[in-house]
Amino acid sequence: MKGNGIEMRGLTVTYASRMGTVNALSGINLTVPSGSVFGFLGPNGAGKTTAMHVLLGFITPTSGHASIFGEDVQGSIARQRIGYLPEHPIAYRFLTGREYLQMAGSLFLLEPTQIKSRAKLLLGQLDLIDAADRRISTYSRGMMQRICLAHTLMSDPDLLILDEPTGGLDPSGRMKIRMMINDLRTRGKTIFFSSHELSEVELMCDSVAILADGEIVAEGKPAALVGEDKSLERYFLRVTGTEKEIGP
């Protein structure tokens, strides 16, 4: 898929509070090429979720513009091409994993044969075959994360927006997510994700942007950014000004 998966130009979001006007995003400019894995990083409260919510059409920016594959994010055509996994996903716990994916396929208007084949593929990729016919209420935290990711992938979206996709997963689960993301990249999908697991970011991302106080303070390939800091974590702490909070 050619062109840019995501573009933000002068993206600004402000809102009023009892303390005055808050700048959640301050003129963000960002380009994410199609077919890439892009890490969107920042400390809590930096504005990451706000930016994601603009892309999803949940929030209308105060000023500026955002587009997905050249389409304005406020348009339904753009939103139809997105799969979204929130930081704290919630599933219908009274359903089995298989029923949950079948419901998702129906909502996405997939054909019955497509629903069956997509569900089987995703359950296998995410190591959920043995739990497919158990109620989600019996799932562990990691299994819940994986079934919600499978739900996100049922429509085979062109763009995935993932908020902490490896949260709650053990090392084996994180490896499965990495393998899946690599496969999606190979298939030309665009992945835009936020994570505090910076070691995972270094392994998976083609490029990253680091946000602090609503502004992008660094952008580039992880290896090029790290330099003398020796790790993305140390670089992140320095450029976001949080290094002093934990000491040497």
Tell me, yes or no, whether 57 lies in a domain: yes
**Given this model, what pLDDT does residue 78 score?**
63
Residue 101: band (very low, low, confident or very high) from pLDDT cuts 50, 70, 90: very high
Residues 77, 83, 89, 92: what is their CA dihedral angle, to the nearest 10 degrees?
A: 80
How many whole angstroms separate alpha carbon 125 and alpha carbon 65?
36
Residue 243: band (very low, low, confident or very high) from pLDDT cuts 50, 70, 90: low
Q: pLDDT tens digits, residue range 180-215?
A: 899 999 999 999 999 888 888 888 999 999 999 999
Given a contact cutoff of 8 angstroms between Cβ atoms, the answer to whether 195 and 178 are in contact is: no
Tell me, yes or no, whether 204 lies in a domain: yes
* Residue bearing the bigger pLDDT, 248 or 4: 4
Nearest to 128 by CA among 144, 113, 117, 112: 144
CA 223 to chain centre: 21
> Please, where are the H alpha helices in 126-170?
141-153
Crossing angle of helices 112-125 and 141-153, rounded to 10°: 140
Over 70: is that where the pLDDT of 1 sits?
no
Both tokens of 196, joined, read 């505090």
How many whole angstroms separate alpha carbon 59 and alpha carbon 61?
6
pTM: 0.90
CA angle 41, 55, 115 (to 5 degrees): 100
**Domain that residue 53 falls in:** 1-81+162-170+189-248
Tell me, yes or no, whether 29 lies in a domain: yes
**Given this model, what pLDDT does residue 12 score?**
97
- Name the CA radius of gyration of the chain, rounded: 18
**Given this model, what pLDDT does residue 2 score?**
55
Tell me, yes or no, whether 51 lies in a domain: yes
- The CATH number of whichever domain residue 76 belongs to comes to 3.40.50.300
**Given this model, what pLDDT does residue 177 score?**
86
* Number of independent structural domains in the chain: 1
Total residue count of the chain as it appears in this document? 248
Mean pLDDT score of the chain: 90
Tell me, yes or no, whether 156 lies in a domain: no
Q: pLDDT tens digits, residue range 45-76?
A: 899 999 999 999 999 999 999 999 999 988 77
**Given this model, what pLDDT does residue 31 score?**
96
Average pLDDT, integer, range 110-130: 95
Given a contact cutoff of 8 angstroms between Cβ atoms, the answer to whether 10 and 24 are in contact is: no
